[in-house]
Amino acid sequence: MTSNKIALVTGANRGLGRSAAIALATRGVRVLVTHRGDAAGVEKTVEQVQAVGGTAAALRLDLSDVSSFASFTSELSDQLERWGTSRLDIVVNNAGVGIFGPLEDVTIDDFDTVLGTNVRGTFFLIQSLVPLLAQGAHVINVSSSLTRHTSPATSVYSASKAAVEALSRTLAAELGPHGIRVNSIAPGPTATDFNGGAMRDDAEFRQVLAGQTALGRVGEPDEIGDAIATLASEGLRWGTAQRIEVSGGAFL
């Protein structure tokens, strides 16, 4: 499958970001993948994209450092120019942080880090990228099934993702007149290295989660990547301001 589209996938040095980049590349989309400092990880993503016949380039982006966004968008524009264009078609805002703990253990720094990265960073990155978005572009913000159900010690992270969903709906209305769609996708429990890899490596924890999921198992990263690529496709071009949960029916 071929495509002239170009996607930016943040936090693509591992996990869901890497899976999204590969899934998009499989569908013929050229991908720009970012990392905060894991150059080896993002290089592996580039190699895996190339292995499926895709094209990728890596850029460094620290979502918590809003002051760096001007230089990042300049570097991004340079890369787009090397690819013969000046526009992005798809943005997958996957990068984020999770710090978990009960109410009494959460520090001000923890709170500021999570909200500053997941909400402040996401908002101002979108603001920075709007001039580069093509007519009909699609912004996909990665949220979490935790905005629907609860789990102990996740209050700050869940709140940050609920804010991302609210931003997505409002920005969909604001950017709609420019032909830009904005949606959020909410993965459920998935076997990645997020939160220390518990959902990937802890067999007992996986079994507990499986028992609370309609499809009876924890999700796999490529299933989330495929969902993101499907949401980005022309088949869903009439959808905007939507929250799409991909959780296997977790905690119904």
Q: Which residues participate in catalysis according to the annotation?
A: 157
Which tokens go with 173?
């209305």
Which tokens go with 194?
């997020």
Radius of gyration of the chain (CA): 17
Helix (H, G, I), strand (E, B) or coil at 10: coil
Nearest to residue 1, comparing CAs of 32, 23, 17?
Answer: 23
CA 143 to the chain's CA centroid: 8
Q: SS in 3 state form for 227-252?
A: HHHHHCCHHHCCCCCCEEEECCCECC
Beta bridge partners of 184: 141, 243
Q: Is 135 exposed, middle or buried (0-12, 13-18, 19+ CB in 10 A)?
A: exposed
The position carrying tokens 């580039």 is 46
146 backbone dihedrals φ, ψ, rounded to 5° = -65, -10
